[in-house]
Amino acid sequence: MENLLIEIGTEEIPAGYIEPALNALSASLAQKLKDARIPCGPVKCYGTPRRLAVMVENVASWQEALESEIPGPSAKVGFDPQGKPTVAAQKFADKVNLPLDRITVKQTPKGDYLCARISEPAELSLTVLQSLLPDVILSTPFPKSMKWGSLHIHFARPIHSILALLGHQVISFTVGDIQSDRQVAGHRFMTPGMIDIGNPSEYVTRLREADVLADMDERRALVIREVDRLAAEQNGKVVPDTDLVNIVTNLVEFPVGVSGRFESAFLELPDEVLITSMREHQKYFAITDANNRLMPGFIAVNNTRARNLEVVAKGHERVLRARLNDARFFYRADMDTPLAGYVDRLKGVLFQAKLGSVHDKTARIQQLVIRLCRIAGLSSDVTDAASRAAFLCKADLVTQLVVEFPKLQGIMGKVYAQKSGESPDVALAIEEHYRPTFSGGPLATGLIGAMVGIADKIDTICGCFHVGLIPTGASDPYALRRQSIGVVMTMLQHNLTFSVRQAIREGLSLYGITESGATTTEASIHDFFLNRITNLLVDGGFSRDTVAAVTSVSIDHVPHLWERVRAMESLKSAPDFASLAVAFKRVVNIIKKTDIPETVIPNPQLFEHDSETRLYQTFETVNKQTTALIADGHFSQALQDMAGMRESVDAFFDAVLVMAEDPAVRNNRLALLSRIADMFGSVADFSKLS
């Protein structure tokens, strides 16, 4: 067995493309080897801006031979009474690409059947890989690809070289006008030129000698060491930024850190502005002192060693100074106008072609958050603050600083709100109403920001569903899935128990949708939330049948929903749950098959057996207890009380025939079971439990 190594040498690939491309490339290669019946070991990826490489360990020298049997029609169908092949036998032979005389009959437990034995001999892996690898390389996905010259191939950037080795042997093939060989490029500036690789095991070492750290983990560790070392030399520490570390790792082949300074006068800018200015355009790391105050310094990571790092630092400082001057100019210009003064300018910013401007959206958010606060029973002070925050929540989008640095939206809104004299709660809400900004991200910590954020997300979801912008498959351009999850998790965190369905209805009403259209759209949005909630609960470790039983009752009052699921899971762990579930399911299933008007109530005078009376009395007592418990959110105790009815339910079914011949008796018994089913149904639909 030998190691297989492929390296695609290119012009500089964007940093964000590299790791996804390597993951796809390695997965594709492993699958192709499996499909080609070539046994192999683990796969390891290497990558820099100028190369994508995959090494597969312990690749077999030969394919595995294929011996397989393909079953066909029965012998009775394949041969007539005289033993001659029928049309069915001929079609089977054509299907497996064998002559009829190669078709055999095999005895099976079900009888005699036609059978085709297929045998494919093994080929050299080297031969198979020659035809397999070009397709693997060119099928690598990228957000954007390009073609070059007169070639009819696409890749992230033009390909300059291809290394392909199986052990010490070159795998010969052509991609475009590039012939594979055993050469790779060294560092473009420090060790220019091509290097011969004798076998895959020496790849990383030979490149390291040529000033290229092909191992991304090794390169990332060196980036971290460099920035930490330089920060410590300035008696500071690097502002944690894992994403920036990953970006820088894939921008360089050999990281060399250099520290620089900027004028202390720039510290008048908010920290977020300084950090963003350094990070977004220059990919510099910010530094804080022992008290976590931003220092007038930064760390850059270069791709080359320099003879005079002071000259390099001066260059970085000159570029950053221009950036910070621009930021300071924008900040001062923005400060000339109170934040509320920017709201009118939102009329010129399009939210969505069919949904109007951002100003229109802001007006809807303000109305919706007022309604939601009232539904949630929040105080007038909270409602007023939420209304003000909603009015201002998008105003910073038209400030010069946010136009220059879009990632500062919300953050600058908070800063400008504070400078404009808005209350701390309102200012915080402007920043936090966007949360979560990514899957699993932090939620709004303040109640006002939570309410404005929910209103904002509900408005977006309702609007998009209204105009047909519904997520399909992997397509979700308005991140509606993330926004719906954000609504649910925010309600859960802040114990907001208002109705999800009512929130949807209020959101749709602000678009002026007709009642018939609103009903259909409301149902679609409700199902959309139901699916998200189901996934959240199942991913949280709850069993799927429990989730289905609880969510089928209602997904309103999200915190109570989670408590109902926990209570049901707890009840399922009880030793006698199986018999309990059977009894309750029986009640529910009988009621589902009948049509008892809600106006029909149990009449004790029509009871014919003591078991009916006991069940009725037990129900009356338990129903009174559980109604109070459920109202207070004590679902576990409520379920335990309901579980105590099992003996009475079992005795009832053992003693009487529910579907009695006398209609009055039959309907009376069904009415009693219907009330019991309604009580169960306030927590879960027991018929959905497995």
pLDDT tens across 141-167, in order? 999 999 998 888 999 999 999 999 999
Lowest mean pLDDT among 10-19, 203-212, 295-304, 632-641: 632-641
Half-sphere exposure of 387 (CA within 13 A, CB side): 12
CATH class of 340-540: mainly alpha
Q: Residue 597 — pLDDT band, cuts 50, 70, 90?
A: low
Whether residue 121 is preceded by a cis peptide bond, meaning omega within 30 degrees of 0, is: no
Confidence band (pLDDT; 50, 70, 90) for 260?
Answer: very high
Closest CA to 368 of 509, 470, 521, 526: 509
pLDDT score of 55: 96
pLDDT value for 494: 96
Q: Which amino acid does the sequence have at 133? A: L
DSSP type of residue 647 = H
314-336 CB burial, b ≥16 within 10 A, e <16: eebbeebeebbeebbebbeebee
Give the CB-side neighbour count of residue 393, counting CA atoms within 13 A.
35
**What integer pLDDT is reported at residue 73 of this predicted model?**
86
**How many alpha carbons fall within 13 Å on the CB side of residue 614?**
15
pLDDT value of position 517: 55
Check whether 606 has a pLDDT greater than 70: yes
**Yes or no: domain 560-688 corresponds to CATH 1.10.10:** no
Backbone angles phi, psi at 35, to 5 degrees: -65, -30
Name the residue with tokens 């009055």.
664
Per-residue pLDDT, 598: 66
For residue range 499-512, what is the model confidence (pLDDT) as tens digits? 999 999 999 999 88
> Phi, psi at residue 626, to the nearest 5°?
-70, -30
- 10 Å CB burial of residue 376 (0-12, 13-18, 19+) is buried
pLDDT band at 689 (very low <50, low <70, confident <90, very high): confident
Strand, coil or helix: 106: strand
What are the structure tokens assigned to 402, written together? 């946010």
Pairwise pLDDT comparison (435 vs 682), residue with the higher score: 435
The pLDDT mean for the chain works out to 91
The residues pairing with 54 across neighbouring beta strands, listed in sequence order, are 6, 45
Percent of the chain at pLDDT exceeding 70? 99
Render pLDDT for 631-688 as a digit per residue (tens, 0 to 9): 888 888 888 888 888 888 888 888 888 888 888 888 888 888 888 888 888 888 877 8
561-581 pLDDT, tens digit per residue, is 999 999 888 888 877 787 777
Q: How far apart are CA 226 and CA 258, in angstroms?
A: 8
Predicted pLDDT at 518: 67
Each residue's pLDDT tens digit, 359-375: 999 999 999 999 999 99
Do the Cβ atoms of 231 and 288 come closer than 8 Å? no
Question: Which structure tokens are listed for 552?
Answer: 């089928």
Sequence-distant (≥ 6) Cβ neighbours of residue 657 within 8 angstroms? none
The string of DSSP letters for 346-407 reads GGGSEEETTTEEHHHHHHHHHHHHHHHHHHTT--HHHHHHHHHHHHHTTGGGGSHHHHH-GG
pLDDT at 516: 57
What is the arithmetic mean of pLDDT over 515-543? 88
* Digit-coded pLDDT (tens) for 51-68: 999 999 999 998 888 777
Burial of 428 (0-12, 13-18, 19+ CB in 10 A): buried
Q: Return the pLDDT at 279.
A: 92
For residues 85 and 455, the model is more confident at 455
The pLDDT of residue 637 is 87
pLDDT band, very low/low/confident/very high, at 514 (cuts 50, 70, 90): low
Chain center to CA of 449? 23
User: Of the spans 99-113, 435-449, 584-598, which averages the highest pLDDT?
Assistant: 435-449
**What are the angstrom distances between the C-alpha of 587 and each of 553, 582, 598, 649, 678?**
16, 9, 16, 8, 10
Mean pLDDT, residues 475-501: 92
Beta-carbon contacts of 428 under 8 Å, excluding residues fewer than 6 positions away, are 414, 445, 446, 448, 449
User: What pLDDT digit, counting tens, does each position of 197-226 carry?
Assistant: 999 999 999 999 999 999 999 999 999 999
Place 189 in a pLDDT band, splitting at 50, 70 and 90. very high
More confident residue, 595 or 435: 435
Backbone angles phi, psi at 234, to 5 degrees: -100, 15
